[in-house]
Chain A
Amino acid sequence: MTLPLRLFFLAAALVLLYALPSLAPFFYLFIATQILILGLFAASFNLVFGYTGMLSFGHAAFFGMGAYATAMLLQSLHWPLLACLLVSFAAGLILALVIGFFCVRLDEVYFAMLTLAFGMMVFGVAHQWRSVTNGSDGISGFSVGSLGLGLDFTLGNPAVYYRVVLVIVVLASLALYRICNSSFGLILRAIRQNPERVAFCGLNIRLYRLAAFTIAGGFAGLAGGLMAPFLRIASPELAHWSTSAEPVLMTILGGSGYFLGPFLGAGVFVLLETWITSLTQSWMLFLGIILALMVMFFRRGLLGTVLDALQARRRRRLP
């Protein structure tokens, strides 16, 4: 596809998404809100996995951290939502900086193991530090007052909250896209392909990996901050490793080689989840089976597989 055509499709999709509240019933609005938030979460994960080549199994730690930050601020200080989200972003960023400092020191096997371990530490703290996090009950019973910036929205209305989420997710994704396609993002991709060579060029790989991990943590925190008012609760499960499995599956499902892959994956994931949980309780079993099949046979994800097939067809048609 040529660039103008791509932009046209993207703009059409955005207009459609913005008009969704007047087109679809409430039920689909909830699903769409969830897709957008999880899409941002998965895209932040893909900055670490698809771009930098590090497989993190503890990304939910930052998501949970962001959710708790917003929930606690809303509950005790009644801050406007935008201010809470800013804190969520910063909280995810700082937590990722600290955890990342220990995780990027060695190779990817260690990285995967350490991110899972430290992620479960965050879960454990959220689960057991009752005086601050309210233990397994989580933080609930907060309400979103104002948005901030003097804008007067009724955020309790799902349609309004959906549009706010849409705008924030689109802006955050644009920022993430800029980062992925800057010279910094290029270096990350080079590190994924051949870390030794990048090191020989005189670049500090560990520092770049840490930077990617930290930025991803910030965006995951922001996604978590958006999730808490949507779920009306911040519970330890948001930081559990099974939540970390979600962006992994979404990214693999959509295609880790594309910026929009995680968003597509999030869409398919949430629709599948809604469908399967209406049939059976064991959604996680299906999640595991789908992940295994995708890894074994469709490693390039839905987007990658479709685009490859299209390209192969075009090549066959040209002599």
Chain B
Amino acid sequence: MAGLGLALLNSLDIGLLLFIIAVGLNIIFGVLNVINFAHGALYMLGAYMSFALMAGLGLPFWATLLMAPLVVAGVAILIDRSMLRFVYQREVADSLLLTFALLLILNESVRLIWGTGIHVIDPPVPLRGAIDLPGGLSYPRYSVFVLIVGLCTLLGLWLLFNRTRLGKIMRAAALDREMAQVLCINTRLVITGAFAFGAWLAALGGAVAAPMRAIDPGMGDKIIIESFIVVVIGGLGSFPGALLGAIVLGLIHGLGGRYLPDANLVLPYIGMALVLLFKPHGLMGARKSA
């Protein structure tokens, strides 16, 4: 029973980390109508950037947590202005191709700059070790921190989209870009902003994940597939869907890793296939005409 509790807690911290990344994917899809194939690469860039800021400039962890995502968001603005704007008006396939090209470019640039080896950064002192839970369990302090960051992001996003003018503008641009333009909303700015914001979220996930996972050039590949599974399970473009999908995938990992370690590799795909069979638009997805 105690083991089950621990597995559930583990699922929750994997799930919330995935949520931070997948919700960025959803925001970009909502406003740009494009699936960002380079999202995993941006996540990886966030992790490498916090490694570089920490090892290269000697900044403390808290500063890198703040700065690394901002640097990546800046990179995203450059990408949007120099590449994506050429294909806004074209068919979807072109934007997909372009973000795919971006994935190749970013992945290889990371390899070129930081090498193919594994890098490790240590969590700051207050987040090392474990805390004791009732029932003789212990839970890593860093996982508690991930839970807190995840919940704060969740709350922040909810406030942004439901309580602020900026959030309303983004939702309006997502819903009907032309109509928003008619209402004097600078949609070009919103599009660039949404892409940068999505990239910021991906990089935040990367910076948070950096101390608990190995930083290597393959880390982006793993996370992009996981975020795809999250948005397919939850429903593409749905905010609560991203949360639900992330928690479902977190549970699959947490419980699957404990009770069915041999099938752990294919379980997420089986989950995704089942959702596609019975709820093709995801658990929380709105049924848009395809």
Contact = CB atoms under 8 A, between A and B. Distances in A.
B281 A245 contact: no
A interface majority secondary structure? helix
Interface in A1-37: none
B276 A124 contact: no
B103 interface: yes
Contacts of B276: 102, 105, 114
A113 interface: yes
Nearest to A119: B225
A289 B221 CA distance: 19
Interface in A95-115: 102, 105-110, 112-114
A288 interface: yes
Nearest to B270: A121
Contacts of A169: none
Contacts of A107: 290
A284 B35 contact: no
Contacts of A121: 265-266, 269
A85 interface: no
Contacts of B101: 288-289, 291-292, 295
A117 B228 contact: yes
A109 B29 contact: yes
A203 to B, nearest CB: 16
Contacts of B273: 102
B93 A108 contact: yes
- A112, A242, A252, A297 — which one has the most chain B CB atoms within 10 A of its CB? A112
B137 interface: no
Contacts of B87: 295-296
A296 B266 CA distance: 36
B104 A117 contact: no
Contacts of B236: 109-110
B272 interface: yes
A155 B157 CA distance: 62
Interface size class of chain A, counting residues whose CB lies under 8 Å from the partner chain: 35 or more
A287 to B, nearest CB: 6
B37 interface: yes
A284 B281 contact: no
B199 interface: no
Contacts of A102: 273, 276-277
A287 B112 CA distance: 14
Contact of B266 (A125, A295, A299): A125
B94 A241 contact: no
A227 B236 CA distance: 37
Given A108-B93, A121-B266, A284-B108, 20 more contacts: A108-B92, A109-B34, A109-B35, A110-B236, A112-B35, A113-B228, A113-B232, A114-B276, A117-B228, A121-B269, A124-B265, A125-B266, A128-B265, A241-B221, A284-B107, A285-B108, A288-B103, A288-B105, A295-B98, A296-B86
A116 B96 contact: no
**Which 8 A-B residue pairings sit nearest by Cβ, starting from the closest?**
A288-B104, A288-B105, A285-B108, A292-B101, A291-B101, A107-B290, A284-B108, A296-B86
Given A53-B93, A117-B228, A285-B112, A291 B100 contact: yes
A126 to B, nearest CB: 11
Contacts of B240: none
B228 A116 contact: yes
Given A108-B93, A118-B269, A292-B83, A248 B100 contact: yes
Interface string A252-275: 100000000000000000000000
A57 interface: yes
B181 interface: no
A157 interface: no
A289 to B, nearest CB: 6
Given A117-B269, A282-B111, A285-B112, A292 B96 contact: no
A239 interface: no
Contacts of B92: 108-109
Contact of B290 (A106, A113, A288): A106
